[in-house]
A and B are shown apart, each in its own frame.
Chain A
């Protein structure tokens, strides 16, 4: 098993860990952190899988750089929204059951 493939496999694990975290965790801060774990997992798969033959591949590396910036933007936005919500309600979770009417 090459290092690249190992990265990819751990990426799969991280992604699923993060994704399940985003779904089941209630605290918004934890959700945001879980999202970042999930994103890192996807980046690992992207870079690792492409390099499973042992050759470095600059294309997914550049993609991951792009992806990281996007994730930073999304994280900042989520934290900002969570802060705004906290400022208005004092809560740190999305209260369920208020969708629809």
Chain B
């Protein structure tokens, strides 16, 4: 038995809250070193939690000692552990990146309160991945949403503030829908604990509960930027400073997706058939539309942000394919992790490329291959995962998805997956081939801290090499399901 003192799940929430507060206390622009140290500890905690779960199975942590339905339960199972691992594994390198990125005088302003905001953001995500209480989840969603909006606004420019405001309004509308859904569920069953609720909801489903499910899911889909709610994402993710974009695109949108998945597997397991198919169609449209927009984007970070819209689409293809064999669920988890690492790498690399060229257009990249080859290599590696080419984790995700679709005879999805991958290759190689062009005569390249380049590379390499360890990830995912 782990000492209650050392419960890793609890510390994964307490620790980021604590360092965010201390960073605030320390003053504007402070807190980088503390954050990195704490994130090392958090990564250790997440690993320990994962190891512990594999050995002893899923577990509950009753906050306050009351237990559901009176109190709030934290629940750690394989799915939570995967999300927690991904979050810490992306956050640590991005923190290292951000420290160097914001050290430039040019970005000082954005760094004023970056660290406490990032700390609260991570705490919100960790709390969300661990909560088993629908109302508590609402609070974590709001915490996450406000932190994300704050980070989008961190740059302070007009475009960023507009993007932040639009993001905030969508987010508030979405969580409003979620909250009304929770209210209806409490009215219908008298509890908001997922574990208590799930058997009740599956047993008896009045119309109000169907509406609640619809409201909550639509809200969460809007937060995950699924087409047609994607419009807020490209300006928000594409306009923020690179480390912020990395956190938002790699992690934040995954949090609401995780919740959709949780609900679909738990209280709303009755929502199958048409509803699941509709979500799948939206996902398929997102894959194609996002990739198409990425192909046309003029600015590098917009391209990467549209790629997020497309890649999120793959996550929603799993809903029509969720079956007892668990293939689709595994595909979803692998895609979350693969895209998380790869997209963080892409944004980190994009930040380097933009700093090296001093421009943010795809066209301005000509000749950059010779100047920051490591970054370009990182971009390519991450691209491998995005395109779903072997041996990356993204490839395994797509393999499993195709496998699941074949097994269920749902051919249409396969075409979408393959076409989406080819379109992804189109926009990734659009960047690479521009970078390989000879540099124009009048181009000037700025030196870039090596640390930024290495972070991008490490993240990209991780997203590819994870493809060789898919079995471990799937085993962890299987805990408690």
A61 to chain B, nearest CB (A): 12
Tell me the nearest residue of chain B to A73, going by C-beta: B146
When distances are taken between beta carbons in the complex, the residues of chain A under 8 Å from B165 are 28, 78, 81-82, 85, 94
For chain B, the bracket of interface size reads 35 or more
When distances are taken between beta carbons in the complex, the residues of chain A under 8 Å from B149 are 77, 81
Q: Which of these, B169, B184, B297, contacts A31 with CB under 8 Å?
A: B169
Q: Which of these, A28, A38, A50, A73, contacts B187 with CB under 8 Å?
A: A50
Q: Are B161 and A81 in contact (CB under 8 A)?
A: yes
Q: Which secondary structure dominates chain A's binding surface?
A: helix
A11 to chain B, nearest CB (A): 8
A28–B166 alpha-carbon span in the complex (Å): 10
The interface size of chain A toward B, counting residues with CB under 8 Å, comes to: 42
A84 to chain B, nearest CB (A): 5
A74–B165 alpha-carbon span in the complex (Å): 11
Known: A50-B186, A101-B299, A101-B302. A81 touches B234 (CB 8 A): no
Flag whether A63 is at the interface (Cβ < 8 A): yes
Flag whether B196 is at the interface (Cβ < 8 A): no
B291 to chain A, nearest CB (A): 14
Flag whether A23 is at the interface (Cβ < 8 A): yes
When distances are taken between beta carbons in the complex, the residues of chain A under 8 Å from B168 are 74, 77-78, 81
Interface readout for A38-81 with B: 1 if CB under 8 Å, 0 if not?
11011101100110100000011001001100100110011001
Q: Are B187 and A8 in contact (CB under 8 A)?
A: yes
Q: Which of A19, A43, A70 has the most CB of B within 10 A?
A: A70
Q: Are B173 and A99 in contact (CB under 8 A)?
A: no
Known: A15-B180, A41-B180, A101-B299. A74 touches B172 (CB 8 A): yes
Interface readout for B163-207 with A: 1 if CB under 8 Å, 0 if not?
011101100110011011011101100100000000000000000
Q: Which secondary structure dominates chain B's binding surface?
A: helix
Q: Which of A8, A39, A84 has the most CB of B within 10 A?
A: A84
When distances are taken between beta carbons in the complex, the residues of chain B under 8 Å from A94 are 162, 165-166, 169
Flag whether B235 is at the interface (Cβ < 8 A): yes
When distances are taken between beta carbons in the complex, the residues of chain B under 8 Å from A42 are 176, 179-180, 183
A27–B275 alpha-carbon span in the complex (Å): 35
Q: Are B234 and A49 in contact (CB under 8 A)?
A: no
Q: Are B139 and A66 in contact (CB under 8 A)?
A: yes
Q: CB within 8 Å of B: which of A81-101?
A: 81-82, 84-85, 88-89, 94-95, 98-101
A100 to chain B, nearest CB (A): 5
Tell me the nearest residue of chain B to A28, going by C-beta: B165
Q: Are A85 and B187 in contact (CB under 8 A)?
A: no
B142 to chain A, nearest CB (A): 5
Q: CB within 8 Å of A: which of B120-140?
A: 135, 138-139
Known: A19-B173, A35-B173, A89-B158. A100 touches B293 (CB 8 A): yes
Flag whether B153 is at the interface (Cβ < 8 A): yes
A78–B173 alpha-carbon span in the complex (Å): 12
Q: Are A15 and B186 in contact (CB under 8 A)?
A: no
B247 to chain A, nearest CB (A): 18
Q: Are B297 and A101 in contact (CB under 8 A)?
A: yes
Flag whether B445 is at the interface (Cβ < 8 A): no
Q: Across chains A and B, which 7 residue pairs bring their CB atoms closest together, nearest first?
A: A49-B187, A46-B183, A45-B183, A81-B165, A42-B180, A88-B158, A42-B179
Please list 29 pairs of residues, one from A and one from B, whose beta carbons are closer than 8 Å in the complex, sorted by A's number. Answer: A18-B176, A22-B173, A23-B173, A35-B172, A38-B173, A38-B176, A45-B184, A46-B179, A46-B182, A46-B183, A50-B190, A52-B187, A60-B186, A63-B135, A70-B139, A77-B168, A78-B165, A78-B168, A81-B153, A82-B165, A85-B161, A98-B162, A99-B166, A99-B232, A99-B235, A100-B234, A100-B235, A100-B297, A100-B306
A: residues with CB less than 8 A from B are 8, 11, 15, 18-19, 22-23, 28, 31, 35, 38-39, 41-43, 45-46, 49-50, 52, 59-60, 63, 66-67, 70, 73-74, 77-78, 81-82, 84-85, 88-89, 94-95, 98-101
B: residues with CB less than 8 A from A are 135, 138-139, 142, 146, 149-150, 153, 158-159, 161-162, 164-166, 168-169, 172-173, 176-177, 179-180, 182-184, 186-187, 190, 231-232, 234-235, 293, 297-299, 302, 306
